[in-house]
Amino acid sequence: DHLGIAVPDLVAASAFYRDVLGMDEVRHKVLAEDGLAVTFMLAPTPGLSVELISPLPGARELTDLLGDHTVQVFLRGQPQGGLHHVCFRTHDFAAAKRSLEAAGVAALGNGKGIIGASGRPVMFFAPTLPAGMLVEVKEVPRDPAVQAAA
């Protein structure tokens, strides 16, 4: 579905992705209760989207959901930012969870997921082998017209 990029400065990152990489800013959203601001960018190449994620100053961390894999923890380790997670779409949340857990990849948080920045249900999975990075799974409807809006 998208690449989640942690950035220390959302305005500067959005300008870079727009002006240098030619991406279009689709939506900006402040998730005050999650302590994050996100900007969704679309590339001229169909199917490539980026979610730029930046912590709000002084905000709480989503440790109840992500443990030590929050954007804030990521930026403390990599202050310049970088790839935080890869998100994959699924039509069947429960089947995706069973498949990942059968492969030894543990769900983070309560194991039930949350409503993500896109307004769709999402769940995060621990960065373990063979995935090697934080994985987000986003449930989207089977109807292509509804999926395009998701």
- Which residues are CB-contacts of 129 (< 8 A; sequence separation ≥ 6)? none
d(CA 33, CA 126): 23
Q: What token pair was written down for 34?
A: 């999650």
- Answer whether 80's CB lies under 8 Å from 8's CB: yes
Q: What token pair was written down for 113?
A: 């997921």
Secondary element (H or E) of residue 17: none
Is 136 annotated as catalytic?
A: yes
* Active-site option among 51, 61, 136, 139: 136
Q: Catalytic positions, please? A: 136
